[in-house]
Structure 1
């Protein structure tokens, strides 16, 4: 939760930062490469997006690739001005040395096609008042990038970061790890899944220990995550199939930060390739986090998270699918 900094402390830096609003962050930048089919293919393979609109002679680029065509790589952006560097240097000098990306917004006005040469301009759109968050105290900085092909505006990309001075917290001794010294009932409340009309069936299945996958009744394509319509043929009608639960680790990350009270980092989060062909993000358990590897065989299991007072609050226990390593690697860890 973000709140304003205490009224008793004047924000002397704020007016200096506000002076950067409206200043250019990049002028007449150019994309490193034209929009091209190989990058589109790599993107679609990584995302598991088989939409036919992104292949063939009339292909367009996935709209969400908008920012990808403007990235400067290790050599940096072309057209970058000094204004953004000066702003960030001011924040660093004030102790706001940490940074976290908070969100982005994109607007698509024109499809991008292979061969299009992308140019862009960027502006420092806004700098917030000083804010205090759980991470620390700092400022939200929003930049807006206008992406063009020739004189035509193709889309806009707003990117927001928090530059902050990290809050100082005492290190938690190993003996205080939740699973070692505290009963489950006293742990911090685990965030509950966001359930809506599009994905409610998935969570209802999880409560019954069923791993359900959507299936388009028009073309038979399986899909995950759950969507209101088929991204292959556009059909809005669907049913479900129960997955076998077998899969492999397609990719993974090890989470070290932030240390949220309901979790106990480090832990492994995997992108699981199910036997049915769809991919799902979940925790990988059964081996130490540093032994998780791409290609490990896994099988789904369902973990219940009972919380003190859940019944009184009208909440059912949280049931989450996780994936346990099977075969020769299993049994060496958790």
Structure 2
């Protein structure tokens, strides 16, 4: 999040004094690195990389923080300095908090049986910032993760502690939120603008993937092309959104995880049927909706319920 810096203030000077002090000391992972947790992580992420299975398995690098988390019982290793810092912010009116970003560096793979220890430091406290959420301070901590005396990774975590800005009633109904388009997914959104639903396909092993990624999770290949989806699919899972309300939408409405006929899944709205009639297995077909706002045209894929249509791959009793 970007924000404006205010002039240095007395509180800011007090907060800066906490830079370099320990946020956690002599912490230890509650469990050794282990295969069941790796398996659960890979299943949740849909990561089929063979490096994470078998007798020579390593843990996915992005699990680094998982081995240091305290769970529901909390963080017994957290220092008084970090609690004091948060207490000062609370007393100043910065009672709200939002996580803004994290950065991780991996120095060597973790393997089942490794027992991790960690220390954390309050690396920086920003000057006072004014953001859309409110005015406050960014606090960055850095955790060093070790196995024995070997540094295996670092984890930087940044939060914004802020005093919420006063809510103002919107002058007009806002437009639909626009997707974040970057160099990895620009091809997908270009296809949507042309009313084409494009799926990435690895040219190394042929695996299809969505959302779009710079490389293949199955074989690691960085080369890919695209396959145009038929648009047919079924509701694999769904939720009905009631809260929090967003001015661009009229709750309640259904958000579905759609399994396309080609096998990949994507999240989108389910339309053409009342929200309370959406069911797992409901046949749907892609439809492209155009919206106009101050920023111009916006095309989004949604999935319309199709009555009487068979699920992809489903045959009739006669075998047709």
Q: TM-score by structure 1 length?
A: 0.81
Q: Deviations over 1:107-166 (max 9, x none)?
A: 000101111111110111111111111111111011111111111111000000001111
Structure-1 residue corresponding to 2:53: 55
Structure-2 residue corresponding to 1:234: 220
Structure-2 residue corresponding to 1:182: none
**5+ unaligned residues in a row in structure 2: which ranges?**
309-320
Give the Cα separation in 2 of the matches to 1:2 and 1:290.
41
Give the Cα separation in 2 of the matches to 1:327 and 1:76.
49
Matched, 1:4 2:5: yes
**Contact in 2 for aligned 1:124/1:142 (Cα 8 Å):** yes
**SS of equivalent residue, structure 1 residue 39:** helix
The correspondence for 1:220, drawn from 192, 199, 206, is 206
Q: CA deviation at 1:42?
A: 1.1
Structure-2 residue corresponding to 1:209: 195
Relative to structure 1, is the Cα distance of residues 177 and 107 closer, same or farther in structure 2, using a 3 angstrom cutoff? same
Relative to structure 1, is the Cα distance of residues 293 and 247 closer, same or farther in structure 2, using a 3 angstrom cutoff? closer
Give the Cα separation in 2 of the matches to 1:88 and 1:324.
48
**Number of aligned residues:** 305
Structure-2 residue corresponding to 1:156: 154
Give the Cα separation in 2 of the matches to 1:13 and 1:256.
36
Matched, 1:247 2:247: no
**Contact in 2 for aligned 1:31/1:71 (Cα 8 Å):** yes
Structure-2 residue corresponding to 1:15: 13
Mapping of 1:15-54 within 5 angstroms? Answer: 15-54=13-52
Q: TM-score by structure 2 length?
A: 0.84
Relative to structure 1, is the Cα distance of residues 305 and 153 closer, same or farther in structure 2, using a 3 angstrom cutoff? same
Give the Cα separation in 2 of the matches to 1:44 and 1:306.
40
Give the Cα separation in 1 of the matches to 2:73 and 2:116.
18
Give the Cα separation in 2 of the matches to 1:147 and 1:225.
30
Q: CA deviation at 1:243?
A: 2.2
**SS of equivalent residue, structure 2 residue 24:** strand
**5+ unaligned residues in a row in structure 1: which ranges?**
179-186, 311-316, 329-334
Q: CA deviation at 1:18?
A: 1.0
**SS of equivalent residue, structure 1 residue 13:** helix
Relative to structure 1, is the Cα distance of residues 309 and 150 closer, same or farther in structure 2, using a 3 angstrom cutoff? closer
Structure-1 residue corresponding to 2:186: 200
Give the Cα separation in 2 of the matches to 1:99 and 1:290.
34
Q: CA deviation at 1:275?
A: 3.4
Give the Cα separation in 2 of the matches to 1:292 and 1:275.
18
**Contact in 1 for aligned 2:270/2:303 (Cα 8 Å):** yes
